[in-house]
Amino acid sequence: MNAVVFYSNTGQSKAIATYFANQLGYPLADMEIKCAEYYQNLVLVFPVHCQNIPDIVKSFLKNISVENLTVVATYGKMCCGNVLYGIQKNYQKNIVAGAYIPTKHSYIDNDDAFCDLDELKPIVEKVKEPSYIQLPRLYKNPLADIFPKLRSRIGLAIQKSENCNGCNLCAERCSFGAIKSGTTNRKCIRCLKCVEACPRQALKIKLGMPLKLYLRKKKSNKIIIYV
Ligand SMILES: Cc1cc2nc3c(=O)[nH]c(=O)nc-3n(C[C@H](O)[C@H](O)[C@H](O)COP(=O)(O)O)c2cc1C
């Protein structure tokens, strides 16, 4: 089968995935809900987390068989790491196209959205006429692999306000069992799916000083495409 599969917490990757699904006429599937195990043509869209591939995406990649894979990583204009190369090296060799797309950063309120979608047309064309490519290795900060999840956990707190009416939608949406009635536990990876899901905006984020300073660094608006 052909499909566009996405993993998305704050909607950026989902918006890009929807674009590809519409352009290609492929069904759109949420990785966290239900996906097939075999694909002829698959476009996979997911966010970079701490310059790495999110664990849930790694598990998905381990369990599928795919003939022609297109990999699209969204990133919050800080650093995209080397995740696409990592996919080809460690999980799936049959890659026909790839892209790093700068988007709104999950942790920055007034950040702007993503690129002009027309820039993604070469990828659509390559999916339609696939041939394999070798992805280059990019620079990745050597510190990125040092306790990435712990860094997010220390850098950011999710706080419940009095708006919370205990509906527990946050717990329903969380794939990790990391929140109950608005209170997070140690399993939380700070992906902010719960914050996004709350209909009463009862969950707020509080950034620690080191993360605040890091997010003030110069941003990269570079879209990188491999076809
Ligand atoms: C836990 C976490 C870690 C992140 N790490 C990075 C990063 O290393 N570099 C970067 O540029 N953006 C980073 N971001 C920002 C996201 O990659 C970016 O906002 C992405 O488009 C969010 O996609 P989504 O809305 O589909 O979840 C991170 C976001 C989260 C939640």
Helices (H), 79-204: 83-90, 121-128, 148-155, 169-173, 193-197
Considering the domain architecture, whether residues 205 and 222 belong to the same structural domain is answered as no
pLDDT in tens, 24-63: 999 999 999 988 899 999 999 999 999 999 999 999 999 9
The pTM score is 0.95
Considering the domain architecture, whether residues 6 and 24 belong to the same structural domain is answered as yes
Considering the domain architecture, whether residues 170 and 132 belong to the same structural domain is answered as no
CATH number of residue 211's parent domain? 3.30.70.20
Considering the domain architecture, whether residues 98 and 202 belong to the same structural domain is answered as no
Considering the domain architecture, whether residues 129 and 163 belong to the same structural domain is answered as no
| Substitution candidate for ligand 1 out of 46, 75, 149, 191 with most atoms within 8 A of CB | 75
Considering the domain architecture, whether residues 160 and 57 belong to the same structural domain is answered as no
**Cβ(10) – ligand 1 distance below 6 Å:** yes
Q: 69: Cβ–Cβ under 8 A, 6 or more apart, which residues?
A: 39, 42, 44, 92, 94, 95, 96
Instruction: State the distance from the centre of ligand 1 to the C-alpha of 191, rounded, in angstroms.
Output: 8
Percent of the chain at pLDDT exceeding 90: 83
Burial class (CB within 10 angstroms; exposed 0-12, middle 13-18, buried 19+) of 71: buried
Considering the domain architecture, whether residues 41 and 152 belong to the same structural domain is answered as no
In the chain, the amino acid numbered 205 is I
Residue 114 has pLDDT above 70, yes or no: no
Helix (H) or strand (E) holding 28: strand 28-30
| Closest approach atom of ligand 1 to CA 149 | 1
**Cβ(8) – ligand 1 distance below 6 Å:** yes
Considering the domain architecture, whether residues 191 and 133 belong to the same structural domain is answered as no
CATH number of residue 67's parent domain? 3.40.50.360
Percent of the chain at pLDDT exceeding 70: 99
Domain count, the chain: 2
CA 57, CA 6: separation in Å to the nearest integer?
A: 9
Q: How far is CA 45 from CA 146, 153, 156, 160, 162, in A?
A: 25, 24, 25, 30, 35
Considering the domain architecture, whether residues 44 and 132 belong to the same structural domain is answered as yes
**Cβ(193) – ligand 1 distance below 6 Å:** no
Considering the domain architecture, whether residues 51 and 120 belong to the same structural domain is answered as yes
Considering the domain architecture, whether residues 126 and 158 belong to the same structural domain is answered as no
Would you say 222 and 189 are in contact if contact means Cβ atoms under 8 Å apart?
no
Considering the domain architecture, whether residues 153 and 208 belong to the same structural domain is answered as yes
Give residue 188's domain range: 148-215
**Cβ(16) – ligand 1 distance below 6 Å:** no
**Cβ(192) – ligand 1 distance below 6 Å:** yes
Residue 70 has pLDDT above 80, yes or no: yes
pLDDT in tens, 194-218: 999 999 999 999 999 999 999 998 7
